[in-house]
Structures are given as C-alpha cells and as structure tokens.
C-alpha cells in the first residue's frame, strides 16, 4: 500500500520528532500535534530542510482535551488530505516511586498517557473503520513486558493502552488494509530519561531515529504478514 499522509501526536521532540522527520523524508504529508507552537514550527522547518517538497501541518493542541485530536485529524485532512497513518506518541513520565509522585504528576500521567491516548486512538479508529483501512501505531514501552519499580505508574498507563491496541488488532485481523502496531522500545534517548542516568550510559540508549526507521519497516510489512508488536531492546546494559 502506498501511504500519503501521517498524523503524529507529541511530535515536538524525541520519538515524535524523529518519526515526523522520517515520514517527511519518505515523501508523506505530515500533520504534527504538540502543546508548544514554537517547537512545532521548529520541527516543521526541520522537515522542510530534509525534504523541501514535503507538506506539513503543525497543530497546537493537547491530548488531555478529549476533542483536541478529533479537531487535529479533521484539520489535517482539510489541509493535507486523507490520513493513512496515525501515530499515538504523546506521553510524559517521572522516574519516582509511586507514592513519591505528587497528585499533579499522577493526574498528568493519567490524563496524558492513558485517557489522552484512549481518546486519540478512538478518534483515529473512527476514521479508519469508516474507510475500512488505516494504520494505527502506538508508541509503547518495554515496561509493559517487565515490571519496573522506578516508573510504576508510567508502566501502568503504557500497559493499558498497549492492551487496547492488541485488542483492536484482533478485532481487525482479517482485514489486510487495517494495521494496529505497538512499537515497544526500551530506554530511549529522550527528554523523559535524560538526566536520570549517568552520561556514560547514554550510549546504551535507543536512538529515536532508530525507532522511526523500524516503525516505517513495520508499517510496510506485506499484507499477509502483519507486525503486531515490535520490541526494540537495548544491546547494552539496559
């Protein structure tokens, strides 16, 4: 299948930014959502730098607002055309024990990582099911595979959404034009984890660019071979 347009949440930095750049490089039109307008404009300029012909639609929004992604998708299609791929990437995390988290941190993770993701996926799936085609990509985490005492609530929110995407994959398993993919990376060199580990250990972290590369390969798997969960593990000490 030839893909024309992708919409990405949490696209102003880290994994989301890397995916946006990769999609622009692959000649897709790119819709990007984040809370900070200035960061969105920076990413849009970076996409144009790697591919001057790329069409980019930056949208300032917040996944904690359950209607924000609905508006984002509608506006992206108005400006760029039909969205083929939706990447659920927006997320926050804090490396603290569960009871060390403040009520504001707990609420922020639940609203962003869980309910924000659920509503984002809901709105994307409404479009895809109507057309009977589309690719849903969820940026998950290896914390769903192995319990983590350092990020317990983050792991819980990721596990819930990971399970939702697996259920949706089972629901649409017989339709080769519907793909639901969990991309499940280990510790990645992003703002969430930087500063929580020793500088010398950063070389063992996964690169956001590598995640974008493997995601693109997973999306383009043959129709008779769906990728449901792509686990990217660190080759170092993590």
- Is position 3 annotated as part of the catalytic site? no
Annotated catalytic residue within 72, 128, 154, 216: 154
Strand partners, 137: 87, 181
Which residue numbers are catalytic? Answer: 154
């Amino acid at each position: 299948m030839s893909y024309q347009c992708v919409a990405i949440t949490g696209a102003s930095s880290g994994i989301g930014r890397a995916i946006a750049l990769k999609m622009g490089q692959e000649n897709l039109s790119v819709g990007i959502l984040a809370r900070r307008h200035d960061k969105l404009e920076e990413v849009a300029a970076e996409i144009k730098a790697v591919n001057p012909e790329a069409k980019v639609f930056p949208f300032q929004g917040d996944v904690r607002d359950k209607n924000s992604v609905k508006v984002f998708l509608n506006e992206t299609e108005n400006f760029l055309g039909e969205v083929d791929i939706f990447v659920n990437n927006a997320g926050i995390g804090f490396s603290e024990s569960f009871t060390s988290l403040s009520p504001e941190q707990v609420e922020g993770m639940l609203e962003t990582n869980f309910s924000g993701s659920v509503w984002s996926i809901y709105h994307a799936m409404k479009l895809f099911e109507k057309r009977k085609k589309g690719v849903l990509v969820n940026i998950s985490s290896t914390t769903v595979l192995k319990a983590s005492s350092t990020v317990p609530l983050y792991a819980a929110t990721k596990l819930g959404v990971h399970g939702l995407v697996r259920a949706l994959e089972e629901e649409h398993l017989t339709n080769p034009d519907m793909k639901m993919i969990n991309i499940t990376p280990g510790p990645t060199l992003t703002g969430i984890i930087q500063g929580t580990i020793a500088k010398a250990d950063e070389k063992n972290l996964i690169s956001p660019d590598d995640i974008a590369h493997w995601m693109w390969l997973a999306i383009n798997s043959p129709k008779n071979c769906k990728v449901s969960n792509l686990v990217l593990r660190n080759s170092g000490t993590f």
